[in-house]
Chains A and B, each alone.
Chain A
């Protein structure tokens, strides 16, 4: 349950961006959360809704884009999604897989009222 501490970091970035843009309100926050990010999107949402009270984002909508773990085999070059997190190529059995995406924990974009 470190989602609350991650949301606290999110709000530090949100405050900074709102100030930069001289925003009156934050209406939408979009995150990218990878399958191997180590966080639970549902808990992030709960933490976000608790944290947003009395901030510029008090009415903000949270959108979470879930990113699957995508890897590329360094032997046969096949790209594949690994829902089971097994780092073995499904095609040739090689263990040299490069992670392409799925570890993200990103603030992608925000929508503001200025």
Chain B
């Protein structure tokens, strides 16, 4: 028996990266701005999407891919707002992978302006998986506490945008908004930060304006 050493140097998530790049390329050709939403469970991703649907729905064409371990509940909530939604049920997996998004991709209308992907509620695992998005948003809600950015660095360092949600609870809970912003900017100085209440609607317009200007930039690059 002969022993042999083989140098490989291959990325373990290389196949995910490859599928994600193909998705990104196709979406870019179609001029669709894609936004991946990451957060722990219950931070308000679906409520924020409902609010975005109400405000952005009448002016733009949007669709949503919902990732959950079980149930169609989230996509039903989005469809109730008149927005097409596809539910990916991961059956136990704690994150979405590019290959799961690729499976529903053929059903996505080509004339969309925005495609939102709501990841499985989890602040750890989804951060490792590129889904082909243009913008990654991490949502941190007030009840979770202002110390989360450094406890979950990967979600914050890989994101383009931080949404501090449930701002209506700020008067009730000991959440230091400035501390959360400072911590987040220390580990990712490029983060764009928005403070919203998806429930009451505050701050959502500023967030939508950011998405609209990003869409405009993407289409300018295409032109």
Contacts and interface: CB of A to CB of B under 8 A. Distances in A.
B153 A107 contact: no
A107 B12 contact: yes
A95 B2 CA distance: 52
A112 to B, nearest CB: 5
Contact of B125 (A10, A21, A27, A38): A38
A85 B153 CA distance: 7
Given A2-B125, A9-B15, A109 B7 contact: yes
Interface string B56-95: 0000000000000000000000000000000000000111
Interface in B1-19: 1-16
A106 B11 CA distance: 4
Nearest to A29: B8
What is the size category of the interface that chain B forms with chain A? 20 to 34
Interface in A96-114: 96, 105-114
B97 interface: yes
Interface in A63-114: 84-88, 95-96, 105-114
A21 B153 CA distance: 39
Contacts of B8: 13, 17, 107-110
What is the size category of the interface that chain A forms with chain B? 35 or more
A42 interface: no
B150 A85 contact: yes
Given A36-B157, A95-B189, A106 B12 contact: yes
Contacts of B127: 38
Interface string B3-40: 11111111111111000000000000000000000000
A57 interface: no
Nearest to A5: B93
B7 A12 contact: no
Q: With a 10 A CB-CB cut-off, give which of A39, A85, A105 has the most chain B CB atoms.
A: A85
A21 B4 contact: yes
B4 A87 contact: no
B94 A2 contact: yes
B46 interface: no
B124 interface: yes
B187 interface: yes
Nearest to A23: B4
Q: With a 10 A CB-CB cut-off, give which of B97, B153, B188 has the most chain A CB atoms.
A: B153
**Which 6 A-B pairs have CB atoms at the shortest separation, nearest pair first?**
A2-B125, A95-B189, A38-B128, A38-B154, A85-B153, A86-B186
10 contacts: A6-B12, A6-B128, A39-B128, A88-B189, A106-B10, A107-B11, A108-B9, A111-B4, A111-B5, A114-B3
Interface of A: 1-2, 5-6, 9-10, 12-13, 17, 21, 23-24, 27, 31, 36-39, 84-88, 95-96, 105-114
